[in-house]
Amino acid sequence: MDSETLQEAYVPGVETLNSKHFFDRLAEEIHPTNVEKGFWGPPELMDKYVAKLCLIHSEVSEVMEALRKSQGTDKVTEEFADILIRLFDLYGELVEVGEADPGLYGIMYDKMEANASRPPKHGNRWG
Ligand SMILES: [Mg+2]
């Protein structure tokens, strides 16, 4: 469907699909409500942790892109290294501030043993 057809199919009486004004009005309605509900206070430390988690996720996406674009085995491995660096950095910080327990290796080993006795796909449809 081209953009003209999309505009014609859009709700009559409302600005066109490409209208910035319509989306600005939505933002003006939604954002103050979320401010009032406390979603936008001063930055908290947890916001920084969430940003770090997003950066780990971005490295995961970089592995996917390296595979998708056939960027080579060295690039794929490099992106895995980036994941682990960011992961252990965040884990170290969370242990330091008491948000995570030390002993990650033991917990991971226990989980690996438990996973070995689980059914195929751990009983799920896919994954
Ligand atoms: Mg990377």
Q: In tens digits, what is the pLDDT along the chain, a chain of 127 residues?
A: 455 554 444 555 555 555 668 888 899 999 999 999 999 999 999 999 999 999 999 999 999 999 999 999 999 999 999 999 999 999 999 999 999 999 999 999 999 999 999 999 999 999 9
Distance 41 CA to ligand 1 centre (A): 31
Distance 59 CA to ligand 1 centre (A): 5
Distance 99 CA to ligand 1 centre (A): 26
Domain of residue 113 covers: 45-118
Residues 96 and 67 in one domain: yes
Question: Does a structural domain hold residue 86?
Answer: yes
pTM exceeds 0.95 = no
User: Contacts for 89-98 with beta carbons within 8 Å, 24 or more apart?
Assistant: 89/52, 90/49, 90/52, 90/53, 90/56, 93/49, 93/52, 94/49, 97/45
Residues 109 and 89 in one domain: yes
Distance 82 CA to ligand 1 centre (A): 5
Question: Does a structural domain hold residue 83?
Answer: yes
Question: Does a structural domain hold residue 123?
Answer: no
Residues 49 and 30 in one domain: no
Neighbours of 66 (CB within 10 A): 19
